[in-house]
């Protein structure tokens, strides 16, 4: 095992390295840009670029790339070498400030949602100095934003950075009213990442996994997750070796990989880093997902990040732990010992409550995807209805505020195990709620609706913007107040009363909750296709405009991109299922029933009844007939989809026609599978994939 403190961040051009290799004034100028957004001079960028290059070259690096996050949800890179020709036919390694600051990838093949005609191909990447450069696979990667020639935003990082700015601006104003001078407020995120690992040699035999990331067929295996023996279970040697390799790779990239454990479903695991600045945490999570896949390959495994690779067992999510703090690390959602008396905490808490209630639709859109639709509302994932859990203690505090009655704190209780040798301890004032989509967990909120493959940028853009919007309103209301403390308390009360409907501390998985949520007027956007149109609602366009996050055109183009991506994903699933039906399942069923029929024939000649063969052939034939019909219906549904032009119509059609046709075909396929002999099966089963 390597020396971890030495290994950690060894591939990152971070603060420590910057301090060591940059001349002092240059280092100071760079830090000022990173910490307070001060303008960076080109002469400074030149020195930084050169030092960055020298540092990288010493580590064997030959190329650099502007690393960016287009709307595909994954990252993009185009490598350029450092070589610069010199007279005499020689070359030198060179990297200028200009190359560091600006790149010009062709933007025409990235999703733009009609924002840009294809002939207007120019796109620019621009250095984000607030997220450190790093070396990945021998390439110096520079985190950048991505814009079109006419300045439209084509990526996830730009709006995220803008939303961070909006939070800071509004929160600094509010803190000032509390007499707290601070230059910057940031949001922090710790994303818990769930994933599956399956053997590569089995994975490649399943076209559904290869093309779509999820199984489109597959009867349940005899054993699933019902014994609860996987969650936190001892980690097998094979997986353990993977995890330790993965940790090392992440540590080298300065990613604070901290917690690992087996998850609920068989072959499912989780990795959680220590939280950090949302911008960097987002870059790190994108990197984490990439490294997870790469390391798996080295171990003969495939890392599945799809939200629902297997029907009937838990899907994979990504819990977005979120808080808001000063740059110095003063967490504004820290209730302290006496939350009831902590006006600052209550005001920020009220802001989050109002933000979530006001923007349920946008939060739902931010986690919407074809894949996550299979996860939300099933097997231990929150439903599509957004509500907030605050816990017993805070619920009582909020209750007291709303009714204007005094709050009596419950005494801290200690917990005795009843075993002499085990020390008693003071327990938390509130239990956890695992069913809530948006739960307060002590000093942060945990947004649990994100899917495992989601970029966390989307959800955090919405959270930041929504909270910034409420905080701006708070600052406006309180800045002129004669008695700040009284005005703040009144505002907290007013907000808590107005948004009480969003708080729900009960069981979110219970069907009764969905009924109650409807009577409370909470949104229930069951599918992604239902959710997308809300993104471009007039009040949302106005919200984004108010905080300089997106223009109306950008909102509309993003809506279209999401709808297109949804329809394309489902279309690929339909084509894959149709192909597997025709090329794998049908031939397997026909071959096996043919073998049985032959045997029946031979037995008949011997005057034997062949009852079993005949019964089985009949059973298979009946299902095959329906299977073939369902396949034809699916083909027809795809033809129907291809006749539609508008992205919104395509998405709705996929939800209403394609997905039902797909499940109908699957149902017959999954009935056939258990009837076939093991050696007659067309591909590895759920049992093979999950219990290897
Ligand atoms: P759980 O018990 O919910 O599974 P984990 O320890 O797996 O908890 O993950 C909790 C996550 O929350 C970690 O990534 C942790 O760093 C993060 N976290 C803790 N405090 C904050 C905070 N103030 N802001 C954002 N994330 C935080
Ligand atoms: Mg966890």
Condensed to tens digits (0 to 9), the pLDDT of residues 4-23 reads: 999 999 999 999 999 999 99
For ligand 1, say whether the CB of 192 is within 6 Å of any of its atoms: yes
- 524 strand-pairing partners: 385
pLDDT of 36:
81
pLDDT of amino acid 116: 61
d(CA 220, CA 473): 52
**Contact 487/478 with Cβ under 8 angstroms?**
yes
Nearest CA to ligand 1 atom 14: 190
User: N- to C-terminal Cα distance for the chain?
Assistant: 27
Residue 96 Cβ inside 6 Å of ligand 1? The answer reads no
Q: What is the DSSP letter of 657?
A: I
Tell me which H or E stretch contains 429: none
Ligand 1 pocket check for 331: Cβ under 6 Å: yes
Pocket test residue of 186, 262, 272 for ligand 1, highest count of atoms within 8 A of CB: 272
- Are the C-beta atoms of 289 and 190 separated by less than 8 Å? no
Residue 440 near ligand 1, beta carbon < 6 Å: no
Q: Which residue ranges form the domains of the chain, and what is each CATH number?
A: 4-155 (3.10.20.70), 163-550 (3.30.590.10), 566-690 (1.20.120.1560)
Place of tokens 């808490």: 349
Kindly state if the Cβ of 194 falls inside 6 Å of ligand 1: no
User: How many Å apart are CA 362 and CA 463, to the nearest integer?
Assistant: 9
**Nearest ligand, CA 322:** 1
Q: Are 635 and 578 in contact (CB under 8 A)?
A: yes
Q: Whose CA is nearest to atom 13 of ligand 1?
A: 190
The percent of residues in the chain predicted with pLDDT above 70, rounded, is: 98
* Tokens matching residue 295: 């390391």
Q: pLDDT tens for residues 364-395?
A: 999 999 999 999 987 678 889 999 999 988 99
Residue 35 in this model has a pLDDT that exceeds 90: no
Residue 284 CA to ligand 2 centre (angstroms): 17
Of 112-121, 218-227, 308-317, least confident by mean pLDDT is 112-121
Nearest one of 617, 627, 622, 598 to 676, comparing CA atoms: 617
Number of H helices, E strands in the chain: 25, 20
Tell me how far the alpha carbon of residue 43 lies from the centroid of ligand 2, in angstroms: 45
Question: What's the rounded Cα separation, in Å, for the pair 506 and 500?
Answer: 14
Ligand 1 lined by 323 (C-beta under 6 Å): yes
Buried residues in 154-188 as b, exposed as e (16+ CB within 10 A): bbbbbbbbbbbbbbbbbbbbbbebeeeeeebbbbb
Alpha carbon distance 320, 75 (integer Å):
19
Q: Give the helix ranges, DSSP H, for 374-437.
A: 391-403
Residue owning the nearest CA to atom 2 of ligand 1: 441
Residue 412 is predicted with a pLDDT of 66
Per-residue pLDDT of 555-584, as tens digits, reads: 999 999 999 999 999 999 999 999 999 999
Cα 497 to the center of its chain, rounded Å:
32
Distances (CA, A) of 571 to 516, 637, 658: 35, 10, 8
How many Å apart are CA 362 and CA 462, to the nearest integer?
Answer: 7
Distance (Å, whole) CA 426 – CA 418: 14
Using DSSP, state whether 475 is helix, strand or coil.
Answer: helix
Is 269 close to ligand 1, i.e. is its CB under 6 Å away?
Answer: no
Q: How many residues does the chain have?
A: 692
Locate tokens 């990197």: which residue?
287
Is the alpha carbon torsion for 87, 93, 99, 105 positive or negative?
positive
> pLDDT confidence of 117, banded at 50, 70, 90?
low
What's the confidence (pLDDT) of residue 79?
Answer: 94
pLDDT tens, 615-663? 999 999 999 999 999 999 999 999 999 999 999 999 999 999 999 999 9
Q: Between vectors from CA 193 to CA 556 and to CA 301, what angle results, nearest 5°?
A: 110
Spell out a b/e string for 617-635, using b for 16 or more CB atoms within 10 Å of the CB, else e. beebeebbeebeebbeebb
pLDDT tens-digit profile of 321-332?
Answer: 999 999 999 999
Residues surrounding ion ligand 2 at CB below 5 Å: 192
Predicted pLDDT of residue 121: 72
Q: Tell me, what's the pLDDT at 234?
A: 87
Distance 456 CA to ligand 1 centre (A): 15
Per-residue pLDDT, 110: 82
Ligand 1 proximity of 447 Cβ (cutoff 6 Å): no
Both tokens assigned to 132: 């450190």
β-strand pairing of 388-389 with 438-440: parallel
Q: Is the CB of 443 under 6 A from ligand 1?
A: yes
Contact 173, 475 (CB under 8 A): yes
Q: Whose CA is nearest to atom 19 of ligand 1?
A: 275
Q: Residue whose CA is closest, atom 17 of ligand 1?
A: 190
CA atoms within 13 A on the CB side of 193: 33
| Ligand 1 contact, 358 CB (< 6 A) | no
Burial class of residue 334 (count of CB atoms within 10 Å of its CB; 0-12, 13-18, 19+): middle
Rg of the chain over Cα atoms, rounded to whole angstroms, equals: 28
Q: For residues 334 and 36, which has the higher predicted lDDT (pLDDT)?
A: 334
Q: Residues 509, 513, 514, 517: is their CA dihedral positive or negative?
A: negative
Pocket test for ligand 1, best of 190, 194, 274, 280 (most atoms within 8 A of CB): 190
Query: Which tens digits make up the pLDDT trace of 652-679?
Result: 999 999 999 999 999 999 999 999 999 9
| Among the bound ligands, the one closest to the CA of 433 | 1
pTM, whole model, 2 decimals? 0.95
pLDDT in tens, 510-560: 999 999 999 999 999 999 999 999 999 999 999 999 999 999 999 999 999
* DSSP β-ladder status, 12-13 and 388-389: unpaired
State how far the Cα of 9 lies from the Cα of 251, in Å rounded to an integer: 6
Q: Region 247-251: what's the mean pLDDT?
A: 97
Distance from Cα 205 to the centre of ligand 2, integer Å: 32
pLDDT of residue 113: 77
pLDDT of residue 429: 66
Contact 131, 287 (CB under 8 A): no
Supply 484's token pair. Answer: 């700040």
In DSSP terms, which residues pair with 414 in a beta bridge?
426
Better pLDDT: 168 or 122: 168
Q: Is the distance from the beta carbon of residue 157 to the nearest atom of ligand 1 less than 6 Å?
A: no
């Amino acid at each position: 095992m390597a020396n971890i403190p030495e290994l950690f961040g060894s591939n990152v051009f971070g603060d420590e390295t910057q301090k060591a290799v940059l001349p002092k004034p240059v280092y100071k100028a760079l830090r000022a840009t990173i910490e307070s957004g001060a303008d960076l001079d080109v002469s400074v960028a030149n020195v930084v670029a050169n030092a960055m290059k020298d540092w990288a070259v010493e580590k064997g690096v030959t190329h650099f790339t502007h690393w960016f996050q287009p709307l595909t949800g994954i990252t993009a890179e185009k490598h350029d070498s450092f070589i610069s020709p010199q007279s005499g036919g020689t070359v030198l390694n060179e990297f200028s400030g200009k190359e560091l600051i600006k790149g010009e990838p062709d933007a025409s093949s990235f999703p733009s949602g009609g924002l840009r005609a294809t002939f207007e191909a120019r796109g620019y990447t621009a250095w984000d100095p607030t997220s450190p450069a790093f070396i990945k696979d021998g390439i110096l990667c520079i985190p950048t934003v991505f814009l079109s020639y006419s300045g439209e935003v084509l990526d996830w990082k730009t709006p995220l950075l803008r939303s961070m700015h909006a939070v800071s601006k509004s929160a600094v104003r509010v803190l000032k009213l509390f007499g707290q001078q601070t230059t910057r407020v940031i949001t922090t995120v710790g994303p818990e990442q769930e994933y599956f690992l399956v053997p590569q040699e089995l994975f490649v035999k399943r076209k559904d996994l290869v093309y779509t990331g999820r199984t489109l067929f597959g009867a349940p295996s005899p054993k699933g997750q019902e014994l609860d023996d996987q969650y936190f279970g001892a980690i097998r040697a094979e997986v353990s070796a993977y995890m330790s390799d993965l940790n090392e790779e992440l540590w080298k990239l300065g990613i604070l990989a901290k917690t690992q454990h087996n998850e609920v479903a068989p072959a499912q695991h989780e990795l959680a880093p220590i939280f950090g600045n949302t911008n960097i945490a987002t870059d790190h999570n994108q990197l984490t997902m990439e490294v997870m896949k790469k390391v798996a390959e080295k171990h003969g495994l495939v890392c599945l990040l799809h939200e629902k690779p297997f029907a009937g067992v838990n899907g994979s999510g990504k819990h977005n732990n979120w808080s808001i703090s000063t740059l110095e690390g003063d967490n504004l959602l820290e209730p302290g010992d006496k939350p009831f008396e902590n006006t600052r905490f209550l005001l920020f808490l009220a802001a989050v409550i109002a933000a979530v209630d006001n923007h349920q639709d946008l939060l739902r859109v931010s986690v919407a995807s074809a894949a996550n639709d299979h996860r939300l509302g099933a097997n231990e994932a929150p439903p599509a209805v957004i509500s907030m859990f605050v816990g017993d203690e805070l619920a009582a505090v909020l209750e007291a505020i709303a009714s204007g009655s005094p709050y009596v704190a419950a005494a801290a209780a200690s917990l005795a195990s009843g075993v002499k040798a085990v020390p008693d301890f003071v327990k938390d004032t509130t239990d956890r709620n695992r069913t809530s989509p948006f739960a307060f967990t002590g000093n942060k909120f945990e947004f649990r609706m994100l899917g495992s493959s989601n970029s966390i940028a989307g959800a955090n853009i919405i959270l930041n913007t929504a909270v910034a919007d409420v905080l701006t309103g708070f600052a406006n209301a309180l800045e002129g107040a004669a008695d700040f403390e009284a005005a703040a308390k009144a505002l907290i009360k007013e907000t808590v009363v107005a948004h009480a409907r969003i708080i729900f501390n009960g069981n979110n998985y219970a069907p009764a909750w969905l009924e109650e949520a409807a009577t409370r007027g909470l949104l229930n956007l069951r599918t992604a296709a239902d959710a997308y149109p809300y993104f471009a609602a007039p009040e949302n366009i106005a919200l984004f405009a108010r905080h300089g996050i997106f223009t109306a055109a950008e909102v509309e183009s993003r809506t279209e991109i999401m709808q297109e991506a949804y329809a394309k994903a489902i279309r690929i699933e339909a084509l894959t299922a149709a192909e597997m039906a025709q090329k794998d399942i049908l031939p397997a069923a026909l071959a096996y029933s043919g073998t049985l029929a032959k045997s029946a024939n031979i037995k008949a000649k011997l005057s034997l009844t062949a009852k079993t063969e005949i019964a089985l052939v009949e059973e298979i034939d009946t299902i095959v007939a329906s299977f073939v019909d369902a396949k034809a219906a699916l083909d027809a549904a795809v033809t129907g989809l291809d006749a539609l032009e508008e992205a919104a119509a395509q998405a709705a059609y996929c939800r209403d026609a394609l997905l039902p046709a797909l499940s109908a075909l699957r149902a017959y396929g999954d009935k056939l599978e258990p009837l076939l002999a093991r050696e007659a099966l067309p591909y590895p089963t759920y049992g093979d994939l999950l219990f290897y």
